[in-house]
């Protein structure tokens, strides 16, 4: 078994491997596979299957590619779109989870997200990022 892993490591040397874009492509392929289980229309079933196979082929192509600069550029472009969406989802999840104990505010100066205790009344809030103070009624 050890000999197999050594041969695989030698094969993968100089190839691109995994990155967040490849992970997203594989996750999307798995979601399409799951959706395809519940599709009963033959035409839609085949279309989803073809798209899924194309995604798997793209995943394998990117993983085994030796053109590392091109794959890195693709990953950087993907991250420019993916990171803001991921951050928004994480912040929304935090806001829902903390809705009883905390309130989320935006600093009027630097637009940073601030988390303050959910206590009714007027509060002086100080932004830790830009050090500006403002009054907020909760």
CA distances from 14 to 21, 65, 69, 77, 101 (A): 19, 9, 12, 22, 51
The DSSP bridge pattern shows strands 102-106 and 113-117 to be antiparallel
So what's the pLDDT on residue 84?
95
In which domain, by residue range, is 133 found? 101-138
Same domain, yes or no: 38 and 54: yes
Same domain, yes or no: 87 and 106: no
So what's the pLDDT on residue 112?
84
Note the pLDDT tens digit of each residue in 34-72: 999 999 999 999 999 999 999 999 999 999 999 999 999
> What is the pLDDT of the chain when averaged over all its residues?
91
So what's the pLDDT on residue 70?
95
**Number of domains composing the chain:** 2
Distance CA(70)–CA(52), nearest Å, equals: 23
Distance CA(15)–CA(1), nearest Å, equals: 22
Region at 17 (left for phi over 0; alpha for psi -120 to 50; beta for the rest): left
Same domain, yes or no: 15 and 55: yes
Same domain, yes or no: 50 and 79: yes
Distance CA(24)–CA(34), nearest Å, equals: 15
């Amino acid at each position: 078994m050890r000999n197999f892993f050594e041969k695989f490591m030698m094969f993968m040397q100089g190839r691109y491997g995994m990155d967040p874009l490849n992970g997203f492509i594989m996750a999307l392929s798995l979601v399409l596979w799951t959706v395809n289980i519940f599709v009963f229309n033959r035409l839609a079933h085949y279309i989803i299957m073809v798209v899924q196979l194309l995604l798997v082929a793209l995943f394998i192509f990117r993983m085994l590619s030796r053109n590392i600069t091109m794959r890195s550029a693709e990953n950087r472009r993907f991250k420019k779109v993916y990171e803001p969406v991921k951050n928004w989802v994480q912040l929304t999840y935090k806001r829902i989870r903390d809705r009883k104990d905390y309130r989320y505010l935006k600093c009027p100066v630097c637009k940073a997200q601030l988390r303050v205790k959910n206590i009714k009344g007027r509060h002086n809030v100080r932004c830790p990022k830009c050090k500006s103070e403002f009054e907020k009624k909760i």
